[in-house]
């Protein structure tokens, strides 16, 4: 879904046939300026969507909009900072206010949470990547917020990457067979990743045509043993660790020779960041 289509659908949900309060109270000709201010320390994300909310309301109800992203997406803001400025008819500002704030609060929350994971990994540690644990229909937005936070996106969906997981293996009763079938069907530019949970499974996976091995739900000692084995047998293979990843755990794994750590918590453990919109004095 394109951003503008998403914003229009979100406005339809909120406005319905019309904002009863604003349309009754605020005359059409009144206009002025407002600002959005941070009430917490955050990595800003969602400025384009916030602007689209005001622009789309103005398209429906009339009037022009001037929107300034004072703090760009991906940059830090602290408590009290003005992150956005808006000039428009008061009706437009009031009707679009909640959607604009909701988008900024949700996406900035993800970006801020992600930044903590990335900083824990450090510049020499593994690259932090997300997962498909996203809110249905909001994946594009949430994965954009992940990038604003400084991490990378894993596959976007089932269609752009091969990941042979434990249930695939159980279905065909063979890790090797599952990887072989995936490799035969996958486009030559698509990597094949396989999930392992034990040293024995890793040893089997290293004998297949897998390009990436996911070391799932292992403690530090198990991960260290697996990394050592993989680097000796297939130095070129990419290694990803996953399972209950937190910034603290990632920091403790940073010295292992892992290529990636993936964490669903980048998105689903993020809290909304508090922001407020006020009219200028």
Collapsed DSSP state (helix, strand, coil) of residue 212: strand
Residue 192 to residue 194: CA distance in whole angstroms: 7
pLDDT in tens, the chain (281 residues): 789 999 999 999 999 999 999 999 999 999 999 999 999 999 999 999 999 999 999 999 999 999 999 999 999 999 999 999 999 999 999 999 999 999 999 999 999 999 999 999 999 999 999 999 999 999 999 999 999 999 999 999 999 999 999 999 999 999 999 999 999 999 888 999 999 999 999 999 999 999 999 999 999 999 999 999 999 999 999 999 999 999 999 999 999 999 999 999 999 999 999 999 999 98
Q: Which two tokens stand for residue 275?
A: 């922001």
Which residues sit opposite 164 in a β-bridge? 194
Collapsed DSSP state (helix, strand, coil) of residue 115: helix
What distances in angstroms separate CA 96 from CA 59, 93, 178, 183, one per listed residue?
A: 12, 5, 50, 49
CA torsion, ordered 206, 210, 211, 217, to nearest 10 deg? -70
Q: Kindly list the structural domains of the chain, giving each domain's residue range(s) and its CATH number in brackets, ordered by start.
A: 3-117+270-279 (3.90.1170.20), 161-263 (3.20.20.70)
Residue 22 to residue 92: CA distance in whole angstroms: 9
DSSP 160: S
Residues tagged active-site: 98, 133, 165, 195, 216
Helices (H) and strands (E) in the chain, counts: 11, 12
CA-closest candidate to residue 277, choices 56, 71, 33, 72: 33
Residue 124 to residue 139: CA distance in whole angstroms: 28
């Amino acid at each position: 879904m394109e951003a503008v289509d998403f914003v229009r659908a979100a406005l339809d949900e909120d406005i319905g046939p019309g904002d009863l309060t604003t349309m009754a109270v605020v005359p059409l000709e009144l206009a002025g300026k407002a600002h959005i201010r941070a009430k917490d320390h955050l990595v800003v994300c969602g400025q384009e969507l916030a602007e689209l909310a005001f622009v789309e309301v103005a398209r429906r109800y009339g009037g022009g909009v001037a929107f300034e992203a004072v703090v760009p997406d991906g940059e830090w803001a602290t408590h009290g900072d003005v992150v956005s400025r808006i000039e428009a008819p008061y009706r437009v500002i009031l009707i679009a206010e909640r959607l604009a704030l909701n988008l900024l609060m949700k996406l900035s929350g993800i970006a801020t949470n992600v930044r903590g994971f990335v900083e824990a990994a450090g510049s020499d540690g593994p690259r932090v990547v997300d997962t498909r644990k996203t809110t249905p229909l909001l994946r594009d937005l949430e994965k954009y917020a992940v990038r604003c936070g400084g991490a990378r996106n894993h596959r976007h969906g089932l269609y752009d990457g091969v990941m042979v997981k434990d249930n695939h293996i159980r279905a065909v009763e063979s890790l090797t067979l599952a990887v072989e079938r995936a490799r035969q069907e996958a486009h030559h530019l698509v990597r094949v990743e396989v999930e392992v949970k034990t040293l024995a499974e890793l040893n089997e996976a290293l004998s297949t045509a897998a390009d990436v091995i996911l070391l799932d739900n292992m403690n530090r000692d198990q991960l260290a043993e697996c990394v050592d084995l993989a680097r000796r047998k297939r130095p070129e293979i990419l290694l990803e660790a996953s399972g209950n990843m937190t910034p603290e755990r990632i920091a403790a794994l940073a010295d292992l020779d892992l290529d990636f750590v993936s964490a669903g918590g980048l998105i689903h453990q993020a809290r909304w960041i508090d922001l407020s919109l006020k009219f200028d004095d």
